[in-house]
């Protein structure tokens, strides 16, 4: 295995890596001390591999990057936000089974990009 397909992003790189992405983006807001975050991480990693080329998957450490979580009103983690065309298309807060995340991924990928002319 050549490492994870998940990219770590920071407050500084968030706009470029997420908002300006051509592909839909799944953002995993997490922290080292968060048990449910650790539980959901293998699912997120697996989805990054499964949907490579269709979906970009990134992680934001909320302890190291405070501006981005507060910008999107993140109160609890893990929080998964789905971005399409630079806007939040969907979100999940807390631990959920893989099927729930996968269903939202399919829904976001099927959505027409509304903000693109």
Q: In sequence order, what E strands does the chain have?
A: 7-8, 25-30, 56-61, 79-84, 87-93
Catalytic hit among 37, 62, 74, 80: 37
Q: Specify whether 113 is catalytic.
A: no
- Work out whether strand 25-30 and strand 56-61 pair parallel, antiparallel, or are unpaired: parallel
Q: Specify whether 25 is catalytic.
A: no
Residue closest to 60 by CA, chosen among 94, 30, 37: 30
Catalytic hit among 34, 44, 79, 101: 34
Active site residues: 34, 37
């Amino acid at each position: 295995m050549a490492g994870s397909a998940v990219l770590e992003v920071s407050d500084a790189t968030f706009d470029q890596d997420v908002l300006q992405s051509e592909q839909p983006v799944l953002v995993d807001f997490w922290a080292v001390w968060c048990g449910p975050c650790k539980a959901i991480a293998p699912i997120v990693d697996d989805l990054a591999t499964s949907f490579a080329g269709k979906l970009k998957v990134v992680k934001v450490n909320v302890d190291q990057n405070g501006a981005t979580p507060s910008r999107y009103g993140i109160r609890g983690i893990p929080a998964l936000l789905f971005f399409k065309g630079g806007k939040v298309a969907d979100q999940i807060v807390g631990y959920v089974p893989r099927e729930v995340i996968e269903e939202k991924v399919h829904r976001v990928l099927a959505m027409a990009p509304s903000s693109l002319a």
